[in-house]
Amino acid sequence: MIRNSTKLFPIVFSQGMVSLAEGLLIPFVSLYLVRSLGLSPVLAGTILGVSGIGLILGPIVGGALADRCSPRLVIVSGLAWAGSANVVAAVTHDLWLFAFAYGLSLLASSSISPALYQTALKSAGHPLRSTATLIAVQNGAVAAGALVAWPLLGSHIGNIFVLAATVNGMGAILALILVGPSTQPAASPSFQWVDWIYLPSLKERQFWSIAAAGFLTGVLYSQMWSTVPTAWLEGQTATGFFALLWFLNGCAIFIAEQRVSRLLERYNPYVWMTAACLVYAFAVGLLNIKMSLITLVTSFVMLTLAELIYEPFPPTLYAKAAPLHFKARYQGAGNLAAATGLVIGPIVGELLLQWGGDRTVWSAMTIIGVCAALVVHQGRPPVPKDPASSAAPPHFKQERTHHDELA
């Protein structure tokens, strides 16, 4: 069992509410744009890209607020703003107002993540297992959201925004009750507006290697919920089967992540992450053979395996390396890279699909997966020369920066 499980419960609950709303929306928004609003796949990808600016800005804003104010404030206000934005997205008939509203929803939802991980890892006895708990709940809630959205994917697909707004609103009220006030020290008095866009030093090779891999895997991963449904899924039966695959993906991670994390913490994280990136590449490479039921199911199985291995490591390693008073912003900087990949991915996928067809898309994504593995492998820390320190788990090199001096 994880230590401080009672203290972790409000954070886990908040993660569940955020992810439940995401499960209702993210896998199916492209279907909504194409089928309900009648947009072309390229225009739908463009709208998702514009809205995705919120996904990029969210971790930066949330990280700065969590360091300066309180994680509780970030969690409650993020859920409330996401609910309000989803209401606007549900009722508007203007295309660009929809893009703005959905982008605001993504900004509010993604701003919560740094605060959740900062709070969960602050006093964790087993950081990797605490991260695995949040990821397991996240995927379980996304799976539940996909299951709830399944019956609405026909003529009532627009109602997914109403349900997401309801979940966000309930989550904000309950988080206000459950999440206690922060006990962490306030941010440095020298905190200035420029620190909102805090990024680690370029000398921190380990951080940037993982951030770059997060960007690349984000581009690859986003094809599974953007390019696949818009290009290959026709009819209610195929769409329902696609929703079922996402449901099973989330359930598998929810059930297995805690158990897998016990194995993962025994060995070098960079070896595990490199292997996971290669599994990502293999998962999308299968779709380059032939788009069929068997290859799609097999690809989702490999995708799930890669997620189980890869996802717990970045937040845990970021938490180890973050300087005092910059814990949430360090997480936010890492999330920024992954979010940028998720935003750019649908645009890249649709353009490649229009330009060269499906084989071009999946060939490019396979290459991206291999590149992510190389980036992680090159960023691993050097093996310590002192035998007495060789037993310590690998982590980022700590460097004193001007932020530490200010603290």
Contact between 27 and 225 (Cβ < 8 Å): yes
Range list of H helices, 69-204: 71-91, 95-110, 112-122, 127-149, 159-178
Q: Hunting for tokens 């788990």 — which residue is that?
A: 393
**DSSP string of 181-235, one letter each residue:** PP-SPPPPTT--GGGGG----TT-HHHHHHHHHHHHHHHHHHTTTTHHHHHH--H
The structure tokens listed for 190 are 């020298």
Mapped onto helix, strand or coil, the DSSP state of residue 20 is helix
Tell me, what's the pLDDT at 384?
A: 60
Whether residue 4 is predicted with pLDDT greater than 50 in this model: the reply is no
What's residue 300's pLDDT? 92
Three-class secondary structure of residue 308 per DSSP? helix
Type of residue found at 215: F
State yes or no: pLDDT of 376 exceeds 90: yes
Stretch 4-9: mean pLDDT: 65
CA 210 to CA 203: how far, in whole Å? Answer: 13
Q: Is 150 helix (H, G, I), strand (E, B) or coil?
A: helix
Cβ 195 vs Cβ 329: under 8 Å: yes
Higher pLDDT, 291 or 333: 333
pLDDT at residue 304, as a whole number: 94
Task: Count Cβ neighbours within 10 Å for each residue of 285-316 and write b for 16 or more, e otherwise.
Answer: bbbbeebeeeebebbbbbbbbbbbbbbbbbbb
Q: Which amino acid is at 291?
A: M
Top mean pLDDT of 161-175, 287-301, 325-339 is at 161-175
Distance CA 58, CA 108 (A): 6
CATH of 5-180+201-385+393-398, one of 1.25.40.10, 1.20.1250.20, 3.40.50.2000, 3.40.50.20: 1.20.1250.20
Helix axes 5-25, 71-91, angle to 10 degrees: 20
Across the range 360-370, mean pLDDT stands at 93
Q: Tell me how far the alpha carbon of residue 393 is from its chain's centroid.
A: 25
Counting residues of the chain whose pLDDT is more than 70, the rounded percentage is: 84
* pLDDT for residue 86: 93
Are the C-beta atoms of residues 141 and 23 closer than 8 Å to each other? Answer: yes
**Is residue 292 over pLDDT 80?**
no
Whose tokens are 């199916």? That residue is: 28
**Averaged over 151-176, what is the pLDDT?**
86
Of 259, 261, 257, 258, nearest to 272 (Cα)? 261
What is the pLDDT at residue 197?
65
Out of 196-210, 293-307, 313-327, 374-388, least confident range: 374-388
Would you state the pLDDT for residue 398?
Answer: 47
- Residue 3 pLDDT level (bands cut at 50, 70, 90): very low
Q: How many CB atoms lie within 10 A of CB 161?
A: 26
Mean pLDDT of 97-108: 93
pLDDT value of position 272: 93
Name the packing angle between helices 269-286 and 313-321 (round to 10°). Answer: 150
Q: What is the tens place of the pLDDT at every residue in 45-73?
A: 778 878 888 988 888 888 888 877 778 88
Question: Per-residue pLDDT averaged across 88-103, rounded?
Answer: 90
Write down the pLDDT at residue 404: 47
What is the average per-residue pLDDT within 262-266?
85
| Token pair in block for residue 386 | 């002192």
Region 363-392: mean pLDDT is 77
Q: Which of 126-135, 319-328, 370-379 has the highest mean pLDDT?
A: 370-379
- Eight-state DSSP code of residue 1: -
Q: Provide mean pLDDT across the span 150-155.
A: 73
Is the CB of residue 283 less than 8 Å from the CB of residue 299?
yes
How confident is the model at residue 238, as a pLDDT? 67
In the prediction, which pLDDT does 204 show?
80
Distance CA 267, CA 251 (A): 26
Of the candidates 220, 227, 150, the one whose C-alpha atom is nearest the C-alpha of residue 373 is 220
Q: Is the dihedral of CA 112, 118, 123, 127 positive or negative?
A: positive
> Is pLDDT at 403 greater than 60 in this prediction?
no
Indicate the residue type of 381: P
Q: How confident is the model at residue 349 (pLDDT cuts 50, 70, 90)?
A: confident
* Per-residue confidence band for 363, with pLDDT thresholds at 50, 70 and 90: very high
Q: Taking 60 as the threshold, does the pLDDT of residue 397 lie above it?
A: no
Measured in degrees and rounded to the nearest 5, phi and psi for residue 398 equal -85, 125
CB 360, CB 349: distance < 8 Å: no
Mapped onto helix, strand or coil, the DSSP state of residue 69 is coil
Q: Are 142 and 22 in contact (CB under 8 A)?
A: yes
Per-residue confidence (pLDDT) for residue 184, from 0 to 100: 52
Average pLDDT of the chain to the nearest whole number: 81
| Region 239-257 average pLDDT | 84
Q: Name the pLDDT band for 241 (thresholds 50, 70, 90).
A: confident
Q: What is the pLDDT of residue 190?
A: 52
What's the confidence (pLDDT) of residue 216? 95
Inform me whether the pLDDT recorded for 315 exceeds 60.
yes
Quick one: pLDDT at residue 226? 75
pLDDT for the residue numbered 128: 81
Looking at residue 279, its pLDDT comes to: 96
Question: CB burial class (10 A; 0-12, 13-18, 19+) of residue 354?
Answer: middle
Q: Which of 111, 135, 140 is CA-nearest to residue 314?
A: 135
